[in-house]
Structure 1
Amino acid sequence: MSYPDTYYKQTMADAKVRPVLSETVECDTVIIGGGLAGLTTALQLARSGQSVVVLEAESVGFGASGRNGGFVSPGFATGSGEIAKRAGSDAARQLHLLSIEGVDFIRETIEQLRIDGARPQPGLISVLRYDDGSSLKAHADEMKRAYGYALDYLDTDQVRSVLKSKRYFHGLRDGRAFHMHPLNYLRGVADEVERLGGRIYERSAAIATALSGAEKTVQTIRGKVKARRVVFTTGGYTGRLNGQLNRAFLPIATYVMLSEEAPELIRTAVATDDAVGDNRRAGDYYRLVDNGKRLLWGGRITTRAASPAALARELRREMVGTYPQLKELKTELAWSGLMSYARHLMPQIGEMQPGVWHCTAFGGHGLNTTAIGGKLVAEAILGHSNRYKLFKPFGLVWAGGYAGLAVAQLTYWKLQAQDWWRERAA
């Protein structure tokens, strides 16, 4: 799948041509997957002087890491109550603090590496599509009390003053969260990994591994890597490379579309530079890009990728249903990508066997959680911390295979129906 011809090609940093692995190389740690988790792990290891090799099947950021909405905000795809039920209340609190740390980590990395093409745009508004402001006020109070984290409550008039839609009632604005160009961020991190001596090979898919001995090997079509440690950060594109990982997640497709240039028309609907997301499961998320000239709109999930034309129709239906004034706004491009979801809806981070690490299942969690996952794996490899063990309750449980995909799709349809009834009642 190619990148969008407008937003991504016109605004992304110059693409660097990276080599294909065509020989046998050695390193301390080989990382399989050149997305956000893999590159963050590589960055932190390289900063500590380790020799690192990253193998990427396509190009840096080709998967969901480089083609998502670019939201950076704390929290997880599942609720705090479910996390506490499985891990305990203290661990749930520590995990949420990690997600906040991830937001600050990405912002600091952009500043430290001067990644101008990923300059953060502050502000994220989370909106309700039904009338229940008291629940948002209670959540804001709890975040302030438990974490010292400020969220600003917006009443219906305040929400509709910037989001010109009768679908929205109340909102919370997170001024510490931000949005950015994710592919540019990844390219900046990759450049720093290489500056520190790390080696990144593109179009170098791992096709086989030997992991039982003290020396691990990873085979590509034309080359081989020998290392003391292997880190799998392949997400929804793991395939048959590692059966244990592949059985532990569901590959879920998500969709994004990009509008034509029409800043004046777009501003009749979205009169804010904040990113926006609604409260539904797999709800809409969108933001202005290209200096406000275009609208990037994402949402919906399926267990199999639809055609670009079909997904564009679905996303347009959502957009126009929310903002009828945008019915004349043309879609310039639409694309999809595979995310990995675990059955427990939490990231899967840990050591599968001595010297073999995994950092995956970040679907629905945002860029901050993916980045902090990579940082935790690097900390563990370096012996700096064992914070990765906070994710131990969320292990590599079987996701159900084809039956799991069917259940996931049925669950999504059920949640959609519940959303519809709740909004209808409003």
Structure 2
Amino acid sequence: MSYPDTYYTQTMAERKVRPVLSETVECDTVIIGGGLAGLTTALQLARAGQAVAVLEAESVGFGASGRNGGFVSPGFATGDDKIARIAGREAARQMHRLSIEGVNFVRETIETLKIEGAKPQHGLISVLRYDDGESLKAHSRAMEHAYGYQLEYLDSHQVRSVLKSNRYFQGLRDPDAFHMHPLNYLRGLASEIERLGGRIYERSAAAGCELSGAEKIVSTAKGRVRARTVVFTTGGYTGSLNGRLKRSFLPIATYVMLSEEAPDLIGTAIATSDAVGDNRRAGDYYRLVEGGKRLLWGGRITTRAASPAALAAELRREMIGTYPQLRELKTELAWSGLMSYARHLMPQVGEMQPGVWHCTAFGGHGLNTTAIGGKLVAEGILGQSDRYKLFKPFGLVWAGGFAGLAVAQLTYWKLQAQDWWRERAA
């Protein structure tokens, strides 16, 4: 199987190799991309009785969907205030409710399909790296008032009792958010799609498509699919097959590393099974795995992927800066993945033209938003709802190409500098 070497591939629960498309097949809907968005869409369509086919260029979960931090929590890559400025306050509220629905969908899917390999662990702590507890209290009150969503406020003493770092101040704990093994979750979805009669083809990159007629044709190197509907869910790995889609996002690399097995040493720094993320733009996120034996640590973003050695050095610098007591903790593995970011930092979900749908650009919040995005696309295809139209204000706008990548990198450096000054002033 052509997977990158990650913690998730090393601990994959099942290793079924799916066939290459080598003939002409017919179905109701063909989905291009075997990640979270594509498989969620396929699952919901198959549950409704549609004949579906999924084309994956590599293997199920090869991209960012199968190698991310594993956090499942509400929200989007941008905040409610920005969403409200673009789409309106009521639309922003509805979209946040959708993100909560996405979290619940993933949780319920794990339970319903009994995906034991996903190993969900509840609890996520969001921490401040400067002193501003009042802002967190206000946010907690706002979430409860608007959505009935409860967040637990943690003062500095409570935070530092479980996260033993003087870099952290106050935090909010979300007891309904959770973290999990994303690749095992994906492979559980794939197995259920196949049980329902859906077909998944690996190592079957879409090489060409004819989308203008009532019948859509997608071709691969050795076969083709005829369908009424096509869904593009290729994320950061979108190639030139759909130029409009490729121009509408920036491929952004993010990084993850895994420590050696050292539970006693790790316990001197982190005394919680909750996942943790800080408030910086592209800040650190991490969680214990294997019952606290190892630490999985992610963070940083760049506009092009670095070598494993370079990214491990960057992440270790962040980890040791936060927890000096982990200086002797060795890194066993490091990897990267490409996320897709739109200029407006929101998912791009909708119908590009009759019978041609897209569900992409999740910007680092994919485990809840791909779930709800795939569900909404399936509802739209089936005529069950038009909830996908909530994303219409966040369309396929040009992301700026190479200039957009340069601006994104400069913006990130600027935000890093702002974070640095804010922490020093605390």
- Aligning the two structures, in what range does the TM-score lie when normalised by the shorter sequence? over 0.9
Q: Is the 8 A contact 2:3 2:59 kept in 1?
A: no
Q: Is the 8 A contact 1:11 1:290 kept in 2?
A: no
Residue 14 of structure 1: CA displacement? 1.5
Residue 219 of structure 1: CA displacement? 0.7
Residue 4 of structure 1 pairs with residue 17 of structure 2: no
Q: Which amino acid aligns with 1:4?
A: D
- How is 1:146-157 mapped onto 2 (pairs within 5 angstroms)? 146-157=146-157
Residue 363 of structure 1: CA displacement? 1.5
Q: Which amino acid aligns with 1:238?
A: T
Q: Which amino acid aligns with 1:415?
A: L
Q: Which amino acid aligns with 2:373?
A: G
Identity of aligned residues (%): 83
| Alpha-carbon distance in structure 1 between the residues aligned to 2:284 and 2:5 | 20
- Cα deviations by residue, 1:318-358 (Å, 9 ceiling, x for unpaired): 00000000010000010001000000000000000000000
Q: Which amino acid aligns with 1:29?
A: T
SS in 2 for 1:396: coil
The alignment's TM-score, normalised by the length of structure 2, stands at 0.99
Residue 224 of structure 1 pairs with residue 233 of structure 2: no
Q: Give 1:334's aligned residue.
A: 334
| Alpha-carbon distance in structure 2 between the residues aligned to 1:73 and 1:314 | 26
| Alpha-carbon distance in structure 2 between the residues aligned to 1:149 and 1:353 | 37
Q: Give 1:346's aligned residue.
A: 346
Q: Give 2:54's aligned residue.
A: 54
Q: Which amino acid aligns with 1:282?
A: A
| Alpha-carbon distance in structure 2 between the residues aligned to 1:345 and 1:273 | 30
Q: Give 1:179's aligned residue.
A: 179
Q: Give 1:211's aligned residue.
A: 211
**Displaced runs of 4 or more, over 3 A:** 1-5
Residue 9 of structure 1: CA displacement? 4.1
SS in 2 for 1:65: helix
The alignment's TM-score, normalised by the length of structure 1, stands at 0.99
SS in 1 for 2:173: strand
Q: Is the 8 A contact 1:73 1:366 kept in 2?
A: no
Q: Give 2:88's aligned residue.
A: 88
Q: Give 2:133's aligned residue.
A: 133
Paired residues, what number? 425
| Alpha-carbon distance in structure 1 between the residues aligned to 2:101 and 2:74 | 8
- Cα deviations by residue, 1:399-424 (Å, 9 ceiling, x for unpaired): 00000000000000000000000001
Q: Is the 8 A contact 2:9 2:183 kept in 1?
A: no
Q: Give 1:269's aligned residue.
A: 269
| Alpha-carbon distance in structure 1 between the residues aligned to 2:179 and 2:368 | 11
| Alpha-carbon distance in structure 2 between the residues aligned to 1:9 and 1:255 | 16
| Alpha-carbon distance in structure 2 between the residues aligned to 1:380 and 1:307 | 41
Q: Give 2:315's aligned residue.
A: 315
| Alpha-carbon distance in structure 2 between the residues aligned to 1:236 and 1:208 | 19
Residue 10 of structure 1: CA displacement? 4.5
Q: Which amino acid aligns with 2:322?
A: T
Q: Give 1:245's aligned residue.
A: 245
Q: Is the 8 A contact 2:123 2:178 kept in 1?
A: yes
Q: Is the 8 A contact 2:253 2:301 kept in 1?
A: yes
| Alpha-carbon distance in structure 1 between the residues aligned to 2:10 and 2:351 | 40
Q: Give 2:143's aligned residue.
A: 143
Q: Which amino acid aligns with 1:22?
A: S
Q: What's the C-alpha RMSD, in Å, of the aligned pairs?
A: 0.8
- Cα deviations by residue, 1:199-249 (Å, 9 ceiling, x for unpaired): 000000001111000010001011100100000000011110100000000
Q: Is the 8 A contact 1:32 1:231 kept in 2?
A: yes
Residue 39 of structure 1 pairs with residue 44 of structure 2: no
Q: Give 1:375's aligned residue.
A: 375
| Alpha-carbon distance in structure 2 between the residues aligned to 1:272 and 1:161 | 9
Q: Give 1:75's aligned residue.
A: 75
- Cα deviations by residue, 1:291-312 (Å, 9 ceiling, x for unpaired): 2111000000000011111000
| Alpha-carbon distance in structure 2 between the residues aligned to 1:167 and 1:251 | 31
Q: Give 1:259's aligned residue.
A: 259
Q: Identify unmatched segments of 5+ residues in structure 2.
A: none
Q: Identify unmatched segments of 5+ residues in structure 1.
A: none
